[in-house]
Chain A
Amino acid sequence: MDSNLLWIFVSAALVNNFTLSMFLGLCPFFGVSARLDTAFRLGLANIFVLIITSLAASALNAWVLPYAPYLRLISFILVIASTVQFVEMVIKRFSPALFKALGIFLPLITTNCAILGLALFQTSREYGVIEGVAFAAGAGVGLTLALVLMAGLREEAELSTIPGIVRGTAMNLIIAGLLSLGFMGFAGLFGQAA
Chain B
Amino acid sequence: MSAGPDMKALDELLKGLWDENPVFVQVLGMCPVLAVTNSAVNALAMGGATFFVLMASSLLVSMVRKWVPKAVRISTFIVIIATFVTVADMLLAAWVPDVHKELGAFISLIVVNCLILGRQEAFASRNPIKPALMDAAGMGLGFTFALFLLGASREVLGNGTFFGIDLFGPQFEPWVVMILPPGGFLMLGMILLFFNWMQAKKQARRAAAEGVA
Contact = CB atoms under 8 A, between A and B. Distances in A.
A176 B34 CA distance: 12
Contacts of B182: 177-178, 180-181, 184
Contacts of A124: 104-105
Interface stretch (A18-26, A92-100, A129-137): A18-26
Interface in A9-35: 20-27, 30
A25 B31 contact: yes
A171 B192 CA distance: 9
A117 B188 contact: no
Given A23-B184, A124-B104, A184-B180, A113 B31 contact: yes
Given A173-B188, A177-B186, 10 more contacts: A24-B109, A26-B30, A26-B31, A70-B86, A113-B109, A117-B105, A164-B200, A169-B27, A169-B192, A177-B184
A166 B82 contact: no
Given A70-B86, A74-B79, A178-B182, A116 B30 contact: no
Interface residues of B, number: 40
Interface string A113-135: 10111001100100000000000
Interface in B82-133: 82-83, 85-86, 89-90, 104-105, 108-109, 111-114, 117
Interface of A: 20-27, 30, 70, 72-74, 77-78, 81, 110-113, 115-117, 120-121, 124, 164-166, 168-174, 176-178, 180-181, 184
The B interface is mostly helix, strand or loop, or mixed, namely: helix
Contacts of A113: 31, 109, 112-113
